Structure 1
Amino acid sequence: MSPTAPRFGVNYTPSQGWFHHWLDFDLDDVRADLDSIAGLGLDHIRVFPLWPLFQPNRTLIRPRAVDQLVQLADAAAERGLDVNVDGLQGHLSSFDFLPAWTQTWHRRNLFTDNDVVAGQATYLRTLAAALADRPNFIGMTIGNEINQFSGPPHPDPDRITPAQADAWLRRLLDACEEGAPGKLHLHAEYDAAWYLDDHPFTPAQAARLGGVTAVHSWVFNGTAQRHGPTASATEHHAAYLIELAKAWAAEPHRPVWLQEVGAPAPLIAPERAAAFTEATVDNALDCADVWGVTWWCSHDVSRSLADFPELEYSLGLLTNDREVKPAGEAIARIVADRRARPYAPAPRTTALAVDIGDDETGPARSTCAPGGAFFEAFARLTEAGVRPAAVLASRAADQDHLAARGITEVVRPHQVP
């Protein structure tokens, strides 16, 4: 396998108790889950400590909880699995998990209150340091889509500016590096960062801060509703986000991590899940500089747990009883096939110019969202058999930048029939 070949992994959702398993941590259950994951041929997992359980008080990070995280990482290592850790949970599958010291009577802005941010930095530094000497520790992700707390549509957001988001990201990435120097530390937002006008977390931050750019691809964002479950735009949505992310990167070959992608029912019917999975991963790997693909998620959520959105119960590659599902079989086939051949996507010579009003703050990002002029032009090009890249309109005449990316032609959305 080429040293630059993409990684293949899964977001670990424990089969017993979902992420509440930290309350009743059972290493034997974890080992059984990891055995079923390793059986698919995957090489890494992304894991999610629940922030209120690990840091219930601003000055208390529970040693036992940290030790259990290390035990999980060591069990993964025994099965050939590397581990990325998301620190601030934050938000998972429609539920918010915030410690009491940030809420109600102690309500303080998650991103700007100095005591809160200092507590977050200490927490991330502690987790990173606990795993720093583990060879299978990839690094930290600051948190899971924590940008959703910064503005609409969250029902009770902690509003900030892009400059404040930037300062928060830099401070917490520094804390991760202090805890585990030299590891791969990053941040990850849901697609409001790319699609929502005036959202404080920006494409420029996503593509320039941290060791890699992370994208989370979910076709329930309007893509599948607008185009249909088998449309080119739907099956290329992950590839679209990867190419969109490249437009803002300062380095022409900065890696992009497809850190979350799944087949959400009923928009993707269960009988179509395997085909959607194969098409999505194949199209994503037709992009250059992909660090890895990490599917959401490993195991289905048990029906014994209440109040999840319906689609969340069936996103696993494996059932709640650890049986491999068709999507899991598809991932196993893809992994085996891709590791047997070189990863060498051809250059994307045609680029579509994206203009969101200001490259740094992105006041007009909705052009990139489903239904927006840029999104729909990109979709039309893809459907016509073109393999488009994305380039900032401000760089469309920068011949050095274009040449570094292999781009020979730039078109504007209005020029796409």
Structure 2
Amino acid sequence: MPPAVRFGVNYTPSEGWFHHWLDFDLDSVRADLDAIAALGLDHIRVFPLWPYFQPNRTLIRPRAVEQLVALADAAAERGLDVNVDGLQGHVSSFDFLPAWTRTWHRRNLFTDPDVVAGQAAYLRTLAAALADRPGFLGMTVGNEVNQFAAGPHPDPDRITADEAERWLVRMLAACAEGAPDRLHLHASYDAAWYQDDQPFTPGHSARLGDVTAVHSWVFNGTAQRHGRTSVPSEHHAAYLVELSKAWADAPHRPVWLQEVGAPAPLVPPEHAAAFAEATITHALDCPDLWGITWWCAYDVSRDLADFPELEYGLGLFTDDRAAKDIARVLADAARDAARDTGRAPAPRTTALVVPGDPALRSHCAPGGPVFDAFFRLVADGARPSTVLDTRADDQDHLAARGITDVVTPEQVLPTVGEPYDASNP
């Protein structure tokens, strides 16, 4: 764990979005990073687009790798550490998969031996190129790659949970081979926690890699059900942080809130700063929080077509680098965190029982009994965490986490399945 919670931003370039790799302009990148560093943030998460960097299975473009290193060096010059997502993968509703995995060359992304070997070589190459840079935090295997493995993706590469685990172990090993002793992890969107048939499981997220990543988006039904200022919406990120702890084997495994944002119109632009402040405040009340990385740095330019409407306004800055109110919220939070070095939240002594069977993950999703019971506890003034049903009587496990009270959804809700009413807690 770092001495203070880390604060950063997912780096979406102001010019060209992630297509900037095709016309890489280091001066433009430096100007972007100057504005980010001026907020007092300490890291960025960077997104090479996989087809641009590895257009053929046996061609990893040296010039693209050099540009990635140049970006990392520019960040370091401004006091910003860098985490690099390797397999892009899926970003902002678009899939970026190389031609050697699709159509006439269609092969399963997770099980085909040649594809897996090519992915491992790519991750190892990126990690090795950055391994000697002091500001390099480590690799994230990819951005929400679990969305390729099941519905609602329109054309998934279906696998079993065992196959997902073998793939993750192989990819994380490739990162470590390239850059030993760095922080390497993988990241799933919230289907890993909420969707019963998703092959990437909560156990994978909470046990593989050096830190657990959670991505919190209230457009998953939370804000639709409860409204933008409700307890569930403003505490959703904290809920995912605490939900992840049920599956972790290490009692104090670090959790990284790696993506969180204020999506319009569910969170209107004029409310984004207030939503960010509430979300950050509640997340900081979670023990073992490694860091918060906001989505995202710069708005998507209106010159670019076909993005979902919400993507055009998620930035801390406009695409002409003007800071929004939400940027000041992140700056204040980063300053306060740096000032509070060494301080940690008190243990969460109440744990809500969660089904350990991955086929029952929907109990934890919006509208499920675990979800509703958790937020009923929060509304009543509790600071709950979670524990698997298989560990609910394990006194050593509970003691290691500081848990003194264990409750079930049935004990919290008068009728299991009764919706949590945020307007009448």
Aligned mates of 2:151, 2:2 — CA distance in 1:
41
CA deviation map 1:317-367 (0-9, x unaligned): 1110111101111111111122212431011111100014x2xxx011000
3-state secondary structure, aligned to 1:154: coil
Query: So what's the TM-score if we normalise by structure 1?
Result: 0.98
CA deviation map 1:212-237 (0-9, x unaligned): 00000000000000111000110000
Amino acid at match of 1:21: H
* 1:13 aligned partner: 12
* 1:136 aligned partner: 135
3-state secondary structure, aligned to 2:359: coil
Amino acid at match of 2:66: D
Aligned pairs for 1:127-206 (under 5 A) are 127-206=126-205
CA deviation map 1:369-391 (0-9, x unaligned): 00001001001111111100100
**How many corresponding residue pairs?**
412
3-state secondary structure, aligned to 1:152: coil
Aligned mates of 1:88, 1:198 — CA distance in 2:
23
Instruction: Indicate if the aligned counterparts of 2:374 and 2:384 stay in contact, CA closer than 8 A.
Output: yes
Identify which of 367, 374, 385 aligns with 2:381. Answer: 385
Aligned mates of 2:338, 2:211 — CA distance in 1:
22
Aligned mates of 2:239, 2:105 — CA distance in 1:
41
* 1:375 aligned partner: 371
Instruction: Indicate if the aligned counterparts of 2:378 and 2:384 stay in contact, CA closer than 8 A.
Output: yes
Instruction: Indicate if the aligned counterparts of 2:150 and 2:197 stay in contact, CA closer than 8 A.
Output: no
3-state secondary structure, aligned to 2:70: helix
Instruction: Give 5+ residue unaligned stretches, structure 1.
Output: none
Deviation of 1:49 after TM superposition, in Å, equals: 0.3
* 2:395 aligned partner: 399
Instruction: Give 5+ residue unaligned stretches, structure 2.
Output: 414-425
Further displaced range: 327-336 or 340-349? 340-349
Amino acid at match of 2:384: P
Amino acid at match of 1:415: Q
Aligned mates of 1:70, 1:155 — CA distance in 2:
35
Deviation of 1:269 after TM superposition, in Å, equals: 1.1
Aligned mates of 1:21, 1:341 — CA distance in 2:
37
> What is the alpha-carbon root mean square deviation over aligned residues?
0.8
Aligned mates of 2:337, 2:83 — CA distance in 1:
22
Deviation of 1:95 after TM superposition, in Å, equals: 0.2
Instruction: Indicate if the aligned counterparts of 1:233 and 1:383 stay in contact, CA closer than 8 A.
Output: no
* 2:30 aligned partner: 31
* 1:347 aligned partner: 347
3-state secondary structure, aligned to 1:5: coil
Aligned mates of 1:298, 1:266 — CA distance in 2:
19
Instruction: Indicate if the aligned counterparts of 1:198 and 1:364 stay in contact, CA closer than 8 A.
Output: no
Aligned mates of 1:355, 1:119 — CA distance in 2:
37
Deviation of 1:3 after TM superposition, in Å, equals: 4.4
* 2:318 aligned partner: 319
Aligned mates of 1:264, 1:380 — CA distance in 2:
24
Aligned mates of 1:264, 1:326 — CA distance in 2:
15
Instruction: Indicate if the aligned counterparts of 1:219 and 1:234 stay in contact, CA closer than 8 A.
Output: yes
Amino acid at match of 1:375: F
* 1:304 aligned partner: 303
* 1:125 aligned partner: 124
Deviation of 1:401 after TM superposition, in Å, equals: 0.6
Identity of aligned residues (%): 74
Aligned pairs for 1:33-72 (under 5 A) are 33-72=32-71
* 2:261 aligned partner: 262
Aligned mates of 1:3, 1:112 — CA distance in 2:
36
Aligned mates of 1:282, 1:212 — CA distance in 2:
21
Deviation of 1:4 after TM superposition, in Å, equals: 2.6
Instruction: Indicate if the aligned counterparts of 2:364 and 2:371 stay in contact, CA closer than 8 A.
Output: yes
* 1:115 aligned partner: 114
Instruction: Indicate if the aligned counterparts of 1:188 and 1:214 stay in contact, CA closer than 8 A.
Output: yes
Amino acid at match of 2:242: E
Aligned pairs for 1:190-269 (under 5 A) are 190-269=189-268
Instruction: Indicate if the aligned counterparts of 2:4 and 2:340 stay in contact, CA closer than 8 A.
Output: no
Amino acid at match of 1:91: H
3-state secondary structure, aligned to 2:242: helix
